[in-house]
Structure 1
Amino acid sequence: MNFRRLIISVTLAWLTVFVFLPHLLLVGTSVMTPNPDHLVVWPVTLDSFEKVFTPLYFSVFWHSLELAAIATVICLMLAYPFAWILSTFNSRTQALLLFLLILPFWTNSLIRTYAIKILLGKKGLVNATMINLGIIDEPIQLLYTEFAVIFGLVYLLLPFMVLPLYSSFDKMDKSLLEAGRDLGAGTVQRFRHIILPLTMPGIVSGSLIVFLPAMGMFYIADLLGGAKNLLLGNVVKNLFLVARDWPMGAAFSVIMMLMMALMLLLYVQANRLVSRKGGLHDSNL
C-alpha cells in the first residue's frame, strides 16, 4: 500500500510540475499585456484573444486549419484500407508490416523533411521522372506550395493514423460481419452498420493525433511551404521568438488546447457510442 501511494504521489507531482503548472502559466500569459522589456506586465486584458479573430491573424488561422484538415483526411483515406488489410494477415506478417511502418521513425523527422525537399525540387526525382516519361516538358514548381506542405504532413503523420485504426480493426469481432452476411446485408450495409461504428474510436483518435500536430509542425511549412503557406505553429513561433508578443502567442496556444479538449470529448463520445451498441448487441443475444 505504501508503494502504491508513493507511485501515485510521484505521478501526481510530475503531472503538476510538468503539465498543470506550464498550462496554467500559458493561460495566465495569454491574458497579460505585452511589454518589450519585461515580455508581459499587468493589467489583465483579453486583447490578445480579440486579435486572434482580426482578419490578418484569422486568415492565417483558417489557412492552417484547412491544410491540417486536408492532411488529416488524406491520411484517413490512405490509412483506413491499409489498416483493414493489415488486420487480415497472420500475426507474423502483421508484425513485419508494422515494423516497416515504424522504421522511418528511426530517422529524425527534420532529416526526412530535407529528403522530401530534394525529391520535390525542380531537379529532384519527381520532376526528373515526369520529364523522362514525357508527362511534362520542363520542371514544375512543387516546392513552396500547399501541395508540398500537405505532402510533407501526410508523409510524417500517416503512421499515427494507421496505428489507432489497426487497433480498432484488430479488436473488432469478425463474427459480426459473418452474421451480417448471413442475414443478407450487402458490402455497403456491413460497412455502414458494423465496420464504421466499431472503428469510429480509431478514426477519432487517429484524426486527433494527426490534426493537432499538423497545425503545429512549423518546420514543415518553413522548409516546404514558403512564406504563403504558414501553419499555426509558425505563427506561434514568430510571436514568441520574433515579435516577442508572448500574450498573443499564448492565446493561440490556448485555442489549440481548447481544440484538443474538444476532440478528446468527441473521442470519449465515440467510445461511449460503440460501448452502448455493443451492450445492446449482447442484450439482444
Structure 2
Amino acid sequence: MANSEGILYIATGKKYINEAVTSARSLEEHMPDIPISIISNREPDSDIFDTVFTVDNPSYSFKDNVDYLRKSPYDKTIFLDSDTYVCRDISELFELLEQFDIAAAHDTGRRHKLYKDDNIEVRAPDSFPMYNSGVVIFSDNIEIDNLFDKWEDIYYRHTDKASGIVNQPSFREALYKTDVRIATLPPEYNCRLPYPTYLRGEVKIIHGRTSNFEAIEQILNEEPTESRRTFLNFSGRKNPHILRLDLDKWQYRQRSLFESLFNRGIKETAIGLIRWYKGDNFWES
C-alpha cells in the first residue's frame, strides 16, 4: 500500500494480547479509520485489529520487539506497547516522519551498564539519552533498516553478558551508532506510570499499567491542560494527583513583589512599581 500509515502492536501471551486489545480500543475511539495491526503468537479474541500476523516461536519477552518491529506492514508506523492508552487523536505523529526517520520519548532511565566486558565496542556517552521503546514512530527506509540491524546485533551479542533488561540500552546504543534522524517526543506523548512526570498540554498517550485508565486520564487532562503541572503517581499510591506549578495572576505578582524587595530593596522596588503603574511591565523585569 503506497504511503500507508498505521498502528502496530507486538504482543505475545494472553495477558499482553488482552492489554493490546484494550489499548487498540482506546485508539479506535479517537482514530476510527486508522489501520491497526498486531504481531502475536495467536489470534486475539477480538476483531479490533485489521491485520493479525502470527509468529511460531515468540520469546514472550522484550526480545519480540527487537525481532518483529521491522515486520510492520506500513510505510509509516506508530508502534505502541500493549500497556498504552490513547487519550487523543495522535495522527500528527506521522508528520514527524516528513523530517525524521524515527521518534521516541526519553526514558526514565539514564546510564545503564549494558556490558560486563570493558573491551567491547565504544559506547554512547552518558550525555546521550536513553529512549523509551514503548512508543516509537518510524519510517520504512534504509536508515531504519540499518538501525534495526544494529539494534538486533547489539542485543543478541550482549544480552547474555549484561544483567537486567537490555532492550532499551541496546536500542540506545544502536541509535547512537547509526545515521537515523531522531525526533524526541515530549512526555505528553508517552506519559509513564508510575513515575512523576512534568506535563504541559494535553496528555495524548498514557504508558503503564493501571486498573482504571479512564480515571488516570481525567486526572491528567483536567482543565486547564496548558498549565504547568507534575503528575505524581508513585508505586503503591492509591490516589495519584496533579501538582499544579502555575500561579494565578495575583499570586504571581505577590511573589514577584517579595522577590523584588529581597533582591532589589525597597527603593528599586518602589521605582519599579511606579514604572509599572505608568505602563512598563514590572512583573516581567
- TM-score where L is the length of structure 1: 0.20
More strand, by proportion:
2
Q: TM-score, normalized by length of structure 2? A: 0.20
Higher relative contact order (CA 8 A, sep 6+): 1
Task: From the two aligned structures, give the one with the greater helix fraction.
Answer: 1
